[in-house]
Amino acid sequence: MSDDGHLSGKVALVTGSTSGIGLGIARALAGAGAHVVLNGLGDPVVIDRLRAELAAEFGVEVRFHGADMTKEEEIAAMITSVEAEFGAIDVLVNNAGMQFVAPVDAFPVDKWNQILALNLSATFHAIRLALPAMKKKGWGRIISTASAHALVASPFKVAYVAAKHGVAGITKTVALETAEHGITVNAICPGYVWTPLVEKQIPDTAKARGMTEEQVKKDVILAAQPTKEFVRVEEVAALALFLTTDGARSITGSLQSIDGGWTAA
């Protein structure tokens, strides 16, 4: 996606990057010359092949760390491991996340705890642990994948909406704390993105609602998205990549909407 090499020699850790948005961002950063540390779930054989393919395609070092992002001690072990090998994390992308849908009075408490741990606390832990080395270098880029739900709510998504609003708060707070350290802190707020996860849900939804798959896309999933088009992973990745450039050095504490007009209403 970029061959300008502005991240040459720098190191990027992207959580939740074995598929979807995270993988797209990892590819973009590798394309700009960054060594990349992947993290996420999946078949170890498939992940290792993915790691090797990225390394070969972009001529960078690519590592994988399988830290469970709901566990503080595993996040700490991952950060320690990356810094031991590379010295510092220059670009931290907090992307790992999950969703669960239920009315608030029937929302399972274990799901609330899990979503808050993965979508919010993991962001806090990764930032607090990676920040000292960034400050020492006097340069850093922290990017969190929030959501349109960091700005507006939808029913039945209480944990996800609360967590993403929390990510917005972390982003603004840490941006203020690091403003004089050469570090920028921003959140990307996508609408509905065309990912393998979304694609898999469509046939079942169509069957359950007695609709065509095309009707499900336009009238159910994209109901709130004025363009009636999915955001592409490559678009989110391009925005993340831009936030790492010198051209974005004055952008910090921002919530970058990329949602086909959803939050304009």
In which band, very low, low, confident or very high, does the pLDDT at 166 lie, cut at 50, 70 and 90?
very high
The predicted pLDDT at position 109 comes to 98
Torsion of CA 58, 55, 130, 80, to 10 degrees: -160
The predicted pLDDT at position 3 comes to 52
In which band, very low, low, confident or very high, does the pLDDT at 258 lie, cut at 50, 70 and 90?
very high
Average pLDDT, stretch 159-163? 97
- What domains lie within the chain, and their CATH numbers? 11-192+231-258 (3.40.50.720), 193-229 (no CATH)
Average pLDDT, stretch 173-177? 99
Q: What are phi and psi of 93, to 5 degrees?
A: -115, 110
**Interval 51-77: pLDDT, tens:** 999 999 999 999 999 999 999 999 999
Cα 105 from Cα 197, distance rounded (Å)? 27
Query: 């403003």: which residue's tokens?
Result: 179
Question: Which of 160, 192, 230, 262 is an active site residue?
Answer: 160
Amino acid at residue number 53: E
The predicted pLDDT at position 201 comes to 85
Cα 20 from Cα 190, distance rounded (Å)? 13
**Interval 18-57: pLDDT, tens:** 999 999 999 999 999 999 999 999 999 999 999 999 999 9
Helices (H) and strands (E) in the chain, counts: 9, 9
CB-based contact 34:13 (threshold 8 Å): no
Residue 219 has pLDDT above 70, yes or no: yes
Q: CA nearest 26: which of 45, 176, 47, 69?
A: 47
- Report percent pLDDT > 70 for the chain: 99
Asked if 160 is an active-site residue, the reply is yes
**Interval 94-125: pLDDT, tens:** 999 999 999 999 999 999 999 999 999 999 99
Average pLDDT, stretch 220-231? 95
Q: What's the whole-number average pLDDT of the chain?
A: 96
**Interval 185-208: pLDDT, tens:** 999 999 999 998 889 889 988 998
Strands (E) in 68-200, as ranges, are 91-94, 140-145, 183-190, 193-194
**Interval 180-190: pLDDT, tens:** 999 999 999 99
